[in-house]
């Protein structure tokens, strides 16, 4: 049985831990509001850009002759998975869910005979996937040193991915990240970046949310032509989708961390109550034992 001193020390240690988890919960809650606002503010721009690309692609007489970023290069042998996770832990199953989704994609693609390459964003995803797929990692980006997410980060990543596609290093590119729903729910999702037309056709839910403009019978002539406009918009769309995914990840990470730290604070409170009860029972038993010894000694005299 633990002594009173050991129990008292342990209670103090758990109380200190509870103070830390409570402080981390409050910090995550403060950051969550800004992260959620940023993620929600990016969605209309991303949806509208998709709408423009859909309209341009639909007005082309020959879609097959469009830019390769739109229609692909005619092959799907090599797939690049861009996996975006957090750089820090202590956020429940947030990173694990994204990595699990990535592993499911890898297994499914390899069973289909595809070659899989990994472009990893975030240290936690790199640490987990490097153990099993270290030889398939072609690029790793850490955002730990970045004080704030900005469009320049996504632009650098997007330009690198576009250059790799143009160099023929892969045929299809998919982005895996966590979509923020609410504080309690963050869903790991996979979306196609290249070719863009595959993502627009597969994403029926997003397509239903995109409001096409009412032309009222008017006929629009594009200058330059649709293909020329798409060559400018498609790289920007890749950058936008990556930036939106990073903002969704940031909001999801803060929401998951707030929930995890709240649970940790509650568990610490329960542990303190149990240890305090054990401390009181041990102290009572010790006092009772001392009284019995005193009474026994007095009777012996």
**Closest to 86 in 3D by CA, of 20, 142, 161, 138:** 142
pLDDT average, residue stretch 25-33: 91
Write the pLDDT tens digit of every residue in 71-82.
888 888 999 999
Please give the span between the terminal C-alpha atoms of the chain, in angstroms, as a whole number.
32
Write the pLDDT tens digit of every residue in 75-125.
889 999 999 999 888 888 899 999 999 999 999 999 999 999 999 999 999
Return the percentage of the chain with pLDDT > 90, whole number. 49
Residue positions annotated with a catalytic role: 91
**pLDDT range class, residue 66, cuts 50, 70, 90:** confident
Q: Please tell me the predicted confidence (pLDDT) of residue 208.
A: 45
Residue 64 to residues 71, 98, 227, Cα–Cα distance (Å):
7, 34, 11
Go through 97-114 and write b for each residue having 16 or more CB atoms within 10 A of its CB, e for each that does not.
bbbebbeebbeebeeeee
Give counts: helices (H), strands (E), the chain.
8, 5
Q: Please tell me the predicted confidence (pLDDT) of residue 211.
A: 46
Write the pLDDT tens digit of every residue in 179-210.
998 888 889 999 889 888 766 655 544 444 44
Q: Is the pLDDT of residue 301 over 70?
A: no
Domains and CATH numbers, the chain: 23-259 (3.40.1380.10)
Q: Where are the alpha helices (DSSP H) in 60-150?
A: 68-71, 94-111, 123-133
Predicted TM-score of the model (pTM): 0.82
Q: Is the pLDDT of residue 245 over 50?
A: yes
Q: Is the pLDDT of residue 154 over 60?
A: yes
Range of weakest confidence among 81-95, 235-249, 282-296: 282-296
Q: Please tell me the predicted confidence (pLDDT) of residue 269.
A: 93
């Amino acid at each position: 049985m633990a002594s009173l001193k050991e129990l008292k020390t342990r209670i103090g240690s758990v109380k200190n831990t509870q103070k830390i988890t409570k402080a981390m919960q409050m910090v995550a809650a403060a950051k969550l509001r800004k992260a959620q606002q940023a993620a929600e503010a990016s969605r209309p721009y991303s949806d509208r850009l998709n709408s423009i690309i859909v309209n341009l692609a639909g007005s082309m007489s020959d879609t097959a002759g469009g830019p390769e970023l739109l229609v692909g290069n005619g092959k799907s042998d090599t797939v690049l998975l861009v996996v975006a996770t957090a750089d820090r832990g202590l956020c429940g199953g947030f990173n694990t869910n994204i990595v699990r989704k990535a592993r499911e994609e890898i297994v499914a693609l390899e069973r289909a005979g595809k070659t899989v390459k990994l472009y990893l964003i975030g240290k936690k995803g790199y640490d987990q996937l490097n153990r099993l797929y270290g030889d398939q990692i072609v690029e790793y980006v850490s955002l730990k040193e970045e004080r704030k997410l900005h469009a320049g980060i996504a632009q650098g990543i997007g330009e690198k991915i576009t250059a790799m596609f143009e160099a023929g290093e892969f045929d299809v590119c998919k982005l895996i990240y966590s979509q923020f729903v609410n504080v309690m729910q963050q869903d790991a999702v996979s979306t196609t970046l290249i070719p863009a037309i595959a993502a627009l056709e597969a994403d029926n839910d997003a397509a239903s949310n995109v409001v096409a403009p009412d032309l009222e019978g008017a006929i629009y002539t594009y200058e330059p032509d649709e293909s020329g406009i798409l060559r400018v918009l498609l790289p920007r769309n890749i950058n936008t989708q990556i930036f939106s995914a990073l903002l969704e990840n940031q909001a999801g990470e803060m929401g998951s961390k707030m929930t995890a730290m709240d649970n940790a604070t509650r568990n610490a409170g329960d542990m303190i109550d149990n240890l305090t009860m054990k401390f009181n029972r041990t102290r009572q038993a010790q006092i009772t034992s001392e009284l019995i010894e005193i009474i026994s000694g007095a009777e012996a005299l």
